[in-house]
Structure 1
Amino acid sequence: MEANQKNITRFIINAGQMLLAHGAESTVVADITRRLGLACGMEEVEVSLSASSIIITTIMDDNCVTTVRRSPDRGINMSVVTDIQHICIMVERRVLDFTLAQHKLEQIKPKRHNRWIVVLMIGLSCAAFSHLAGGDRIAFAITFVASAIGMIVRQEIAHRNFNPLLNFAVTSFVITLISSQAVIYQIGSHPFLPMASSVLMMVPGFPLINAAADMLKGYINMGIARFVMATLLTLATSIGIVGAMTLTGAWGWVH
């Protein structure tokens, strides 16, 4: 029975580790892991979260098993979170037993969209912001080019596993360097709009939302950690923007 409890504990902490690594909010991580443990026959399941690790304790027949796993950031991917939630529901409804659930968990792989579709959609979304702000077709085109090239740079840096802060700083530098040409050469009726619109792709919206949700739901430490990380990403973005503007001298539109 003790060996079975250890296996179940490993199973549920692996699920929690994947949830935390792929951007699930703390309430979801704690709730899903607890439900999985209870559905697998545990009497009690206690979960403790930190910014980079997860601790789970299971109790069954007066036996207590505690395990800890580090959970490095694997990038936001809601398909993983959804797949684990489906496994949890199927275990609760007795559609899957422990062995099948463990096998399904091991088969989960992050789904990735085609990189060129992502580049296209990011370029169009930022260009749409410039159009909504009153930009003409030239502003639309410059914003599209700057944000699309910036997304390619971001993907390449992420693929090589560089620090996210460096990624954000370099990407925002490249984007601003390209979009600032509209200000330097006074291209279009609103040359400042591409600079303002093309960097919107760098806003860390998801971490900020998760940070607020965690703090509102009682996970203060997790919320603060996520808010600090989102703030650092914003600071890195600002450094890249200021560096490019200093290099090109495109400060006129700020005043």
Structure 2
Amino acid sequence: MNSGCNEHRVKHNVNISDEQQALITRVIVRAGQLLQAYNAESRIIEQTTERLGIAFGLDSVEIALTSKAIILTSRFGDNCITTTRTMKAHGIDMGIVCEVQRICILAEKQIYDVEQVKKRLDNLDVPKYNAVIVACFVALSCACFSHLFGGDSIVFICTWLTSFIAMRIRQWLTQLHHNLLTVFFITAFFATFIGSFASGFGWGNEPELIMITSVLQLVPGFPLINAVSDMVKGHITIGMARWMTATLLTLASALGIVLAVQLAQQGGWL
């Protein structure tokens, strides 16, 4: 990494005006903003912004990350520029993360200049997947878990149907821009409540598996993994923030499950 940085400093041994440095800083912070918005690891955000700064001829780039903002300082000679950007989460999308890193590599190879990088970053397309197809495969994964846990074909089919309905409810609530905690709570409630009817009617060999596995789609695995990775690599603050977010999502799901179970018991079919 150090040898690569030295090479880039030799290649870009030219003067950079204040306006050029300001433009470079805005482009670099935009790349970091995209990476954080789509749930890249903190270490990846740091490395990518540093590499872009060196590729564009800066002496150094320093970045501080919080759960809702990026603070970035670029230095060239005795001139420093600091900028702050707020961050709005856009969900998990490794395609965007990989594309930003690809753009960084092209800048390091001098294939892209600052203006070209800025244009690519401003025109990144977020892939649109068919919501029904996504719901089908999410439901299929939950149904496969029910089979792995010993459920028969009836449990498998009922789990798929329950998970599909719950996922469609989740997608609908997300499109309405509801709070994520509310989305998880309502989705867990409906998944458990619908699945409870299987226990009441005695469908399948282990009907309780339908309630258990249909809510597995709500497990915040990726945020938890990133949280642990950040804390292990020294980013304690943002790692704790991500851990707390995942914990709150889990708690919201648990509350939805408990409420559905209580209603099912009061209704007499569980």
TM-score w.r.t. length of structure 1: 0.97
Equivalent residue, structure 1, for 2:186: 170
CA offsets 1:15-41 (integer angstroms, 9 cap, x no match): 101110111010011111111111111
2:83 aligned with 1:67, yes or no?
yes
Picking from 196, 206, 210, the partner of 2:222 is 206
Picking from 10, 29, 51, the partner of 2:67 is 51
- DSSP 3-state at the match of 1:249: helix
The offset of 1:183, in angstroms, is: 1.1
Picking from 13, 24, 27, the partner of 2:29 is 13
CA offsets 1:2-23 (integer angstroms, 9 cap, x no match): 0110011000101101110111
Change (3 A) 1:133 1:6: same
Change (3 A) 1:61 1:251: farther
Larger Rg: 2
Identity %: 43
The offset of 1:161, in angstroms, is: 1.0
- DSSP 3-state at the match of 2:107: helix
Query: What is the rounded CA distance, in whole Å, between the counterparts of 2:67 and 2:122 in structure 1?
Result: 23
How many residue pairs match? The answer is 254
Counterpart contact for 1:184–1:250, Cα < 8 Å: no
User: Map of 1:1-255 to 2, 5 A cutoff?
Assistant: 1-249=17-265
Counterpart contact for 1:180–1:250, Cα < 8 Å: no
Change (3 A) 1:181 1:47: same
Change (3 A) 1:18 1:132: same
CA offsets 1:127-181 (integer angstroms, 9 cap, x no match): 0100111101110011001111111011111111111000000000010111111
TM-score w.r.t. length of structure 2: 0.91
Q: Where does the alignment leave 5 or more consecutive residues of structure 1 unmatched?
A: none
Q: Where does the alignment leave 5 or more consecutive residues of structure 2 unmatched?
A: 1-16
**Aligned partner of 2:136: which letter?**
L
Counterpart contact for 1:52–1:72, Cα < 8 Å: yes
Moved over 2 A (4+): none
CA offsets 1:82-115 (integer angstroms, 9 cap, x no match): 1100000000011111111111111102213211
**Aligned partner of 2:137: which letter?**
M
CA offsets 1:47-76 (integer angstroms, 9 cap, x no match): 100011000000113111000000111111
The offset of 1:118, in angstroms, is: 0.5
